[in-house]
Chain A
C-alpha cells in the first residue's frame, strides 16, 4: 500500500507556518501596540512611565481581563454574555453588604458568596440558552437589565460604606508589591490557568469545535448543550469573582457598579483577536486586548485629551480590530487554499 498515490507534494508546511506566524503575530501585534502607545505617551508626559501610573494601568485592566477570560469561553462557542457587568455589580454589592451586616465575616465567605451569586446567574443564562434554544444575545441582554433591577431594589438607593469593609479584605484589591498590584497578579494567575485549560482539555477543545461548526459538532457527538452551559457558568462565576475583587479594590459600590463593563469586556475580547462568530481566539489575547484598551484610555488622560474622545477612540479601535481580523482571515484562507495544492469546489 506504500505504492499508492502520492499526488500532492506538501507546500502545506509553508502555509501552516504562515498561519502560525499570523496568529502569533496577532498577540505580538497587540503587545507592540501597547508598547508604542506607552512610549509615545511617555515622550509627551514623563509622568506616564512612573510606578504609580503603571500600577494604575495594570489594576485598571485587571477586572476587564478577568471578565474577558470568561467572555472568551462563551464567545468561542458562538454565543455572547452581556450580563457580566451587571453580575459584577450585584456580586460586589452583595459582598459589601455581607461585611456591613457581619463585620467579622470570614474572607473566604465573601469570595464564596460573590462567586456563588455569579455562578448561579451564569447557570440560569446557560440553562435558558441551551435548554430553551433562545439566542444568548437576548437571554443575557435580559439578564443585564433584570440583575441591574434586582441590584437597585436590593441596594435601595444606598451605597456600601467604605469603613465597613475590613482592611484585611481590601488588601488583595488595593495593595501592591513593588508597584505590581496583587489584583493583577491574581488575575494573571487565573488567566494562565484558563489559558492552559483552553489548550489542553478535550472539553475545552469542544468549545472551539462548537463555535467553528455547530453542524459538525452535532455529527461528532459533542454534547454542545452541556459545554455551552459550562462556559456560561464559568463566565458568571468569574464575573462574580470580579465583583468580590471590585469591592476589595474600591471598598464602595452603589447599585450602578460595573455598569457598561460588558461592552468594555466584549471590546477587549474582540480587539484581542477572539472571533466574534466563534471558533478561534485565546484568553491571553483577550487579556492583552483589555490591557491595550486601558493603556489607550490612560494615555489619552495623560495626554490631556478630553475624556469625551476616549470612547470614540475605543470605538474606532474596535472597528479597526474587526476590519483587520477579516483581512487577516481572508489572507490566511487564501494562503491555505493555494498551499493546499488543490482546486476548491463549491
Chain B
C-alpha cells in the first residue's frame, strides 16, 4: 500500500500563511493518497494546525496551491471544503448536546417526506447505517449530551460519511481517548482506508503513527521537512527531523548551588488526568516540566497551587503540607502562580495596571479593611521600574499593554508577595523576542535570590536553556528526569513521545 501508483486525491503545494507579523506557515506541503493513512508530525508550533485549518477552509493560504484530483481549488470557507469532500475530525468535536445523534449528523439536511416535513424514522435509519459502515454501536435516537469524546468523534466521522467525504483529517483524535477507544478508532480508520478514503492523521504518539499510517510528513518551524513511506523510517529519523534545529537563542543562566527542598510533591494523582507524580524543587533551582500539549503539565501545576483538587498524594512547601484545593493556603505558604493564559486567568483586563499588580497583596495594602490607593500605586510604581514595564499611565486598563508587558504585570503581582516558590506556566508564550529575554533574565535573577521555580514550557529551547533539571510528563505520568547536562532536544522529545523512557524516577 505504501507505493501509491495512483494520483494523489489532495495536494497542498507550498502554502504559506501569516498572521500579522507572525509567519505561522512558511511552506506547507503534503500529498494525500486514497486508501492511505498519512501522518503529519512536528513539535508544538510547527505549523500543523495552520495547515489543517487551510485544508478545512477556516484559513485561506496567502500563497501556494490546493489541488483536488489534480484541479486547483480554493476553499472560501468551511462549507466549501466540506462540499469538496474534506472532513475534519477535531480532538474535541462540537456537537449539539440537546439534539439526538441522528439530528447531529443530518442537521440542515434531514431527510424529508411530503410537505418538507422531517422524516425521523428514515433519518434514524440512515444514521444507523452510517454507524454500521463504521462498525460502531451508537443509538442514533439518543441525545448527544453525555457521549464520550470517542463516541462524539464517531458521530463526526458518521457525519463526514453522510457528506460523502473522501478525505478525513484527524487532528490529534487520540489525545483524550482510552486505549480501547484508540483501538476502535484505528479499526474505523482501517475501514475508511479500505473504502478508498485518504486519512491525514495527526498525533504526538509515534507508536500510533507506526501502527496505523503508511506515510509520514514531518514539519518544523512552519516548514515542510520530509515525506517518506513509514517503512523507510525509524523512530530516530523522525525525532531528528522534528527537532533538528540549532539553539539560536541565548539563555542567561547563572550557576547556582541548589539549597534545601522548597517544594515537595509526592505521589500526586488526579484520576484520569495525572498519576503518581513525585518530584521536588530546591531553593535556587529552576525545574522545568516538559511534555506535549495535553500531557497534564498545567494540570499538575494547578493542583499544586490548589486551583484543582487531587485524589491522592501530598504537596509540601518548606516542609509543611499544603491543604488541598486551596489557593489561599498555597499563597499563605509562599507559592505564586503565573498561569498559562494571562488574558483569562492572569489579569483582570479591564482593571488598571496598579489594581492588577496589587491584586494578590490587598491584605497587606489595606488598613481597617479599606485599600490604600497610595500604597497600591507605590507598590506598582516600584515594580514597574524594577521590571522595566512600558506603560502609559498606571491607571490604564491592563489590555492597553503589549503581551510581554502584560506578562510583566502578572509577574509583578506575584513577586510583590516575595514568593518562596514560583510556578510559571508558559511564561513567554506570545511574547516578542526582546521581552522574552527580559523575562528569562528575571527568572534567572529570582533563582539567584533564593526562589524555587517550577516552569512549564512547550518551547524546548526555553526548557533546555533555563532549567537545572527537566521533568518529562507523558500522558499524566512522570516518565523521565533529566539533569541539565543530559537534557537535549532528542532526549526530551524521546521521553515525551514515549520512546525509551530515560532514567524514569
- Do A and B come together as binding partners? yes
9-residue interface stretch from A102-110, A117-125, A214-222, A303-311: A214-222
What CA separation (Å) do A199 and B151 show in the bound complex?
26
B437 CB within 8 Å of chain A: no
Q: Are B143 and A200 in contact (CB under 8 A)?
A: no
A212 touches which one: B96, B149, B273 (CB < 8 A)? B96
Q: Are A212 and B97 in contact (CB under 8 A)?
A: yes
Q: Which residues of B contact A346 (CB under 8 A)?
A: 176, 272-273
Q: Which residues of A contact B176 (CB under 8 A)?
A: 345-346
B117 CB within 8 Å of chain A: yes
A50 CB within 8 Å of chain B: no
B366 CB within 8 Å of chain A: no
Q: Which B185-209 residues sit within 8 Å CB-CB of chain A?
A: 187-188, 190-191, 194-195
Q: Which B213-235 residues sit within 8 Å CB-CB of chain A?
A: none
Q: Size range of the interface on A?
A: 35 or more
B181 CB within 8 Å of chain A: yes
Given the known interface contacts A13-B139, A205-B118, the answer about A339 and B184 at a Cβ–Cβ threshold of 8 Å is: no
Q: Which residues of A contact B178 (CB under 8 A)?
A: 342-343
Q: Are B145 and A333 in contact (CB under 8 A)?
A: yes
Q: Which residues of B contact A70 (CB under 8 A)?
A: none
B135 CB within 8 Å of chain A: yes
Task: Give the Cβ gap from B98 to chain A, nearest Cβ, in Å.
Answer: 4
Q: Are A209 and B107 in contact (CB under 8 A)?
A: yes
Q: Are A19 and B97 in contact (CB under 8 A)?
A: no
What CA separation (Å) do A197 and B133 show in the bound complex?
32
Q: Mark B86-121, 1 if CB is under 8 A from A, else 0.
A: 000000101111110001000111101000111000
Task: Give the Cβ gap from B203 to chain A, nearest Cβ, in Å.
Answer: 15
A4 touches which one: B139, B145, B149, B188 (CB < 8 A)? B188
Q: Which B114-136 residues sit within 8 Å CB-CB of chain A?
A: 116-118, 133-136
Q: Which residues of B contact A335 (CB under 8 A)?
A: 146
What CA separation (Å) do A15 and B118 show in the bound complex?
24
Q: Are A5 and B95 in contact (CB under 8 A)?
A: no
A12 CB within 8 Å of chain B: yes
Q: Are B96 and A217 in contact (CB under 8 A)?
A: yes
B363 CB within 8 Å of chain A: no
By beta carbon, the residue of chain B nearest A15 is B142
Q: Are A219 and B107 in contact (CB under 8 A)?
A: no
Q: Are B108 and A206 in contact (CB under 8 A)?
A: yes
Given the known interface contacts A1-B135, A213-B94, A279-B97, the answer about A345 and B142 at a Cβ–Cβ threshold of 8 Å is: no
Q: List 17 A-B contacts (CB under 8 A).
A: A5-B187, A7-B181, A7-B183, A8-B137, A12-B137, A12-B139, A202-B116, A205-B107, A205-B118, A208-B99, A209-B99, A212-B97, A222-B108, A275-B98, A334-B146, A336-B142, A346-B273
Given A4-B187, A332-B145; 9 other pairs, CB 8 A cutoff:
A209-B99, A209-B103, A212-B96, A216-B94, A221-B78, A275-B98, A332-B146, A335-B146, A337-B148
Q: Which 10 A-B pairs have the closest CB atoms?
A: A336-B146, A342-B148, A345-B176, A279-B98, A4-B135, A5-B187, A212-B98, A216-B94, A212-B96, A345-B149
